[in-house]
Structure formats: C-alpha cells, structure tokens
C-alpha cells in the first residue's frame, strides 16, 4: 500500500498518458513509491503493478533495469558520486576517497548507524560542475571539494 499522498502523485502522472497506456507511468510511480518507502520491496512493486494494471514481472523488469531504484534496504541518505571520466579529471576520485575516510565504508556499503550509503554513479550530465554527487537521487551537489563534502556530511548528520 502507498499513502494517499503518493497515490495522488501517481494519479497526476497518469494524466500525462493515453488512458490505455497506464504502464507509461510506471517509472514515476516507482520513484514516488521509493520516496515514500525508502526502497522497493516485492510487495510495493506488486502494489504498483496492480495499480497500473500491469503484470508484476513487467514492474520488476523496470525496477531492475534503471539504476536509481533501490532494491535493497538503504541508508537514510544515499550518496551517489559520479566517477566517470570528465568528473574523474576534476577530482571525483579524491571526493570518493574523502567519503571513504569520513564514513569508513566503500561503494554499496551502509554505515553502521544506517545513516549513509555510498554508491558509484555514472554520468549525471553536469560534468562542468565536477565533482558531482546526488543525495537520495534528487538533490544534486556540485563542485564537491573536501571542504564541501565535510560540510554536507555535517548537515546530514544533524
């Protein structure tokens, strides 16, 4: 089940597509569900499938294909650092090192207190602002020097 608020958002997304093409809303529906639940359990995906009149397997296919969906429990803050070439030329690997040192975790790991998960990302289309990272998919942070990383972690630890 999803909250009334989430369902309202999904209903809005459904207005964008022809009435017989509800499946088109699956990507946004899964993103909305993930925002509410943190990660996508099979039950949540089945619910979305039923809501959009889709076979469950078709929802699983989408959830596993696109890499911003969380298919496992995740920290309160998912930090995804782009390490692709343009970012790497401008300090992305140094940024990753800073996170590793400060958080004591590597990629795909979560801190013991459940607060932070670190992920390696691919191009986010903001290479001029390198190093670039995302907090929980939706908040982009640019020019992430060590100082700015420290500041971010401090803000998120409050």
Cβ atoms 52, 22 nearer than 8 A: yes
| Residue 76: DSSP 8-state | S
Under 8 Å between Cβ of 98 and 87? no
Enumerate residues 101-120 that contact other proteins by CB under 8 A: none
Tokens 């911003």 correspond to 68
Q: Rule CB under 8 A: say whether 126 interacts with other proteins.
A: yes
3-state secondary structure of 25: helix
Single residue of 7, 71, 88, 156 touching other proteins by CB under 8 A: 88
**Among residues 1, 5, 11, 21, which is the contact residue for other proteins, using CB under 8 A?**
21
Among 123, 145, 154, 157, binds other proteins (CB under 8 A): 123
Residue whose C-alpha is closest to residue 148's, from 81, 85, 74: 81
Cβ proximity to other proteins, 41 vs 60, nearer residue: 60
Given the rule CB under 8 A, which residues bind other proteins? 16-18, 21-28, 30-31, 52, 54, 58, 61-62, 65-69, 83-86, 88-90, 121-130, 134, 137-140
């Amino acid at each position: 089940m999803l909250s009334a608020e989430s369902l309202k958002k999904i209903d809005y997304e459904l207005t964008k597509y022809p009435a017989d093409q509800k499946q088109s809303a699956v990507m946004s529906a899964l993103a909305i569900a993930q925002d509410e639940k943190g990660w996508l359990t099979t039950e949540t995906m089945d619910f979305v499938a039923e809501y959009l009149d889709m076979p469950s397997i078709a929802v699983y296919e989408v959830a596993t294909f696109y890499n911003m969906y969380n298919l496992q429990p995740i920290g309160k803050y998912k930090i995804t650092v782009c390490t692709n070439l343009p970012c790497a030329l401008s300090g992305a690997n140094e940024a990753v090192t800073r996170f590793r040192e400060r958080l004591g975790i590597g990629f795909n790991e979560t801190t013991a207190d459940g607060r932070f998960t670190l992920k390696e990302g691919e191009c986010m289309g903001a290479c001029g602002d390198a190093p670039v990272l995302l907090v929980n998919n939706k908040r982009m942070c640019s020019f992430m020097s060590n100082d700015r990383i420290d500041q971010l972690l401090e803000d998120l630890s409050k």
